[in-house]
Structure 1
Amino acid sequence: MNYQTFQPHPDLEALIKCYWTLEVPAEPAATKQRILPDGCIEMIFILGDDVKRYTSGEEYILQPRAMLLGQISEPFFVEPTGVVSSFAIRFYPYSFANFTTTPVKDLANRETPIRLLFEEKLAADLEHAIVNAADTQERIRIMDDFFLQRLKEEIVIDSILKSTIDTLLSAGGSATTSSLLKGEVSKRRQLERKFSKQVGLSPKQLGRIIRLQTALKILLNQPDESLTSIAYESQYYDQSHFIKDFREFTGVNPKEFYGNDELALSSLIYT
């Protein structure tokens, strides 16, 4: 697997976390990969062969070749049908809402073709340009221009929402809603409505996902660390609380994470 990340234009750095590419040669017996919640929304262009996403058991859909993957709150299982070649944009939790009129909460736990999010000809021209670009740098220039043009039309970043998410990220997801509100409990519903509209998750859900990401990175980068130590370093109440959240968002126990073929891609990204 060859996974790489790239930075966007400086004027987009507050909205786009990174561009990324993934290249994997065709394998005779491809393994399902478990995609884990990370609190981000991604626009993905499939440049290689089709990719299956399992909906239950052996039932699957073919992912759209130009799509928006909304917030996910459970693991997704995907499987390549041949060569994997993808180019994607990873947005900060609050930022994609600035580029679409579709409520972000309606995009959660699903793939949405980009033609349903932008004017159809605009989406078709964008997909054609990305598919026919000579290389990754040209694709980055195309996407930079696309988003910069839309920024000129209209952009409003909710400062309260951004500062709240920045606090969650800096605290590793462990900040409570009450602490985020600095004691102004009357604003809870307003904050939750903002999160629903622009993030697609509640503050509590996003905090839990960020905290899990913190634990995953420790788990992968410090494999000799005990589960109890990882739990406390990640601000969980105790080991059982850590294991419960880990199971919910990944579908496996922490000890099953090591050497699990289905988690090879996630392990590569988080390492």
Structure 2
Amino acid sequence: MYTQRIKPTPKLSQYIAHFWLWEQNNITTLPNMLPGTGVEMLFNFGDLLKLKTYQQSQLHTNDSVLVCPRKSLIQFQATGKTKLLSIRFRSAGFFTLFGLPLTELSDQAISTEQLLPTSLLAQLIEAKSDIARVTLLEQWLLQKLIKVTNQDFALQWAIDKIYYQNQSDSITEVKHQLKCSERTFQRKFKLFTGVDAKYFERTARFQSTLKALLTAQSTQYLAVAFDHGYYDQSHFIKDFKYYTQSTPSGYLTEQNFSLNYYQTI
């Protein structure tokens, strides 16, 4: 198994968290993609890959899909060699670049045929290396960025503020600083993220906690949970079961420590 995380060019860093590559030659278990706050554009340069969320779909060789897991996890089933390249968009990044409401994309696997130029797909298939593919994608995204004329910097700031602050009053503080009505705030927030602010905050808190546990390869979860804003054990376990469909003891295992989408190798 080989994984690599590639940082985007600085001009794209506020829209894209990173590119990542996942490659393995054997048919082995792939980790579930848990409900999250961002958007993934997945390019399959390996064998057929099966995806399951609310619906069953297939990602054929040289095809690509957009996934936006919010209230359901995505299961992957390899049928042979796996070679996935992904663009991981930040929470507010995808809507800013493409203008597609995330309320229409959540919990689905959607073909990127209408988003990517045919010529770009051909270039990606023919590229000699993964770095060359990332370069092609960055060039395309930079062209998209040039055409963005109506960025909502205030809401982008608000979403980042809620995502990175594990504080119970983050939403209240953000709404106060934005000086807009509750209805306007929630309507815009859902366009950018696909969910309301409270659910987004809940997901961000769990993501941050789980990432810390997996990175540290720790089964001692209570102290980490409290550090990330959980107020008691039952509160954390309830969220853990909701997002992973497992208990902490069932999920925090050697397999998930070595096989997860938070890897930094």
| Superposition TM-score, scaled by structure 1 size | 0.86
What are the ranges of 5 or more consecutive residues in structure 2 without an aligned counterpart? none
Indicate the SS of the match to 1:14.
coil
Indicate the SS of the match to 2:260.
helix
**Corresponding residue for residue 247 of structure 2:** 253
2:99 corresponds to 1:105: no
CA change 1:73–1:90 in 2 (3 A) is same
The 5-angstrom pairing of residues 38-117 of structure 1 reads: 38-55=36-53, 60-63=56-59, 65-117=63-115
2:216 corresponds to 1:218: no
**Corresponding residue for residue 185 of structure 2:** 191
**Corresponding residue for residue 22 of structure 1:** 22
CA change 1:16–1:227 in 2 (3 A) is closer
**Corresponding residue for residue 132 of structure 2:** 138
Distance in 1 (alpha carbons) for counterparts of 2:143 and 2:241: 42
Distance in 1 (alpha carbons) for counterparts of 2:180 and 2:152: 19
CA-to-partner distance for each residue in 1:4-52, whole Å, 9 max, x for gaps?
A: 111222211111111111111123xx33532112311011110001111
Distance in 1 (alpha carbons) for counterparts of 2:8 and 2:149: 17
RMSD: 2.5
Indicate the SS of the match to 2:263.
helix
Indicate the SS of the match to 2:72.
coil
Distance in 2 (alpha carbons) for counterparts of 1:101 and 1:183: 24
Contact 1:174 1:208 (8 Å CA) reproduced: no
Distance in 2 (alpha carbons) for counterparts of 1:224 and 1:114: 37
Shift of 1:263: 7.7
Distance in 1 (alpha carbons) for counterparts of 2:114 and 2:25: 31
**Corresponding residue for residue 229 of structure 1:** 223
| Superposition TM-score, scaled by structure 2 size | 0.88
Contact 1:21 1:88 (8 Å CA) reproduced: yes
Distance in 2 (alpha carbons) for counterparts of 1:155 and 1:5: 30
Distance in 2 (alpha carbons) for counterparts of 1:186 and 1:158: 13
Distance in 1 (alpha carbons) for counterparts of 2:264 and 2:207: 8
**Corresponding residue for residue 11 of structure 2:** 11
What are the ranges of 5 or more consecutive residues in structure 1 without an aligned counterpart? none
Count the aligned residue pairs. Answer: 263
CA-to-partner distance for each residue in 1:247-271, whole Å, 9 max, x for gaps?
A: 1111101111122757853266379
**Corresponding residue for residue 173 of structure 2:** 179
Letter in 2 for 1:104: L
CA change 1:25–1:78 in 2 (3 A) is same
Shift of 1:186: 6.0
Q: Percent identity, aligned pairs only? A: 25
**Corresponding residue for residue 200 of structure 1:** 194
CA change 1:268–1:196 in 2 (3 A) is closer
Shift of 1:211: 0.7
